[in-house]
Amino acid sequence: MTAPDPIDAIATALARLRGRGPRGMFGPGRPGGPHGHDGHHPHHGFGGRGPGPASGRGGPWGPDAGRHGAPARLRMLEALAKEALSVSALAEAIGVDQPRASRLVQQGVERGWVRREADPDDARRTRIVLTDDGRRLFRSVRGERREALGAALEALTEAEQAELARLLTKLADNWR
């Protein structure tokens, strides 16, 4: 069996680590916290910093794209690209509280990235499913991230890339 591509392994480990900071750092009123300034404000979109589609100038994120909340939205798309989830399961998967996950889902529904549907195993429950537009958006962002990561890793030898992948994976496995 072929060893996993170090770029993919590093990207996966980094994605797992995103949003997993010590809970004390992200308490109420703090950036990333349940009541912090982390993207649930109505005029903040998916975006990021600098030029490009995620800069607040439109593109796939829309004209309201701002820099706050992008990591959580990306983690939401990433989690839903793997499987449909309940809001509670999504919250746990992306490292936010349930009310924040509900707001992210609502923003995703409004943008056409996700939809709610009845759980086939329990009609009383709702699951969140990635739409075709959401899947296309996630693939696009993932490709851009992979390209940027590959460029950054060019300074490392193949052995160093493999070691970095191993260490980041170990860190992600043990981060609580």
Q: What is the pLDDT of residue 72?
A: 86
pLDDT at 59 over 70: no
With pLDDT > 90 as the criterion, what percentage of the chain qualifies?
A: 45
In this prediction, residue 160 carries a pLDDT of 95
Domain boundaries, the chain: 6-174
pTM here is 0.62
DSSP H or E segment with residue 173: helix 158-174
Integer Cα distance of 25 and 8 in angstroms: 29
The DSSP output letter for 149 is H
127: pLDDT confidence band, cut at 50, 70 and 90?
A: very high
Contacts of 44 (CB under 8 A, 6+ apart): 64, 66, 67, 68, 69
Residues 96 and 104: beta-carbon distance below 8 Å = yes
Mean pLDDT computed over 52-57: 42
Name the more confident of 94 and 67.
Answer: 94
Which residue, among 160, 162, 150, has the nearest Cα to 4 in the 3D structure? 162
Does residue 56 surpass a pLDDT of 80? no
Evaluate if residue 87 carries a pLDDT over 70.
yes
Q: In the predicted model, is pLDDT for residue 4 greater than 80?
A: no
Average pLDDT over all residues of the chain? 77
User: Residue 85: helix, strand or coil by DSSP?
Assistant: strand
Give pLDDT, residue 116: 97
Q: Out of 1.10.630.10, 3.40.50.300, 1.10.10.10, 2.60.40.10, select the CATH number for domain 6-174.
A: 1.10.10.10
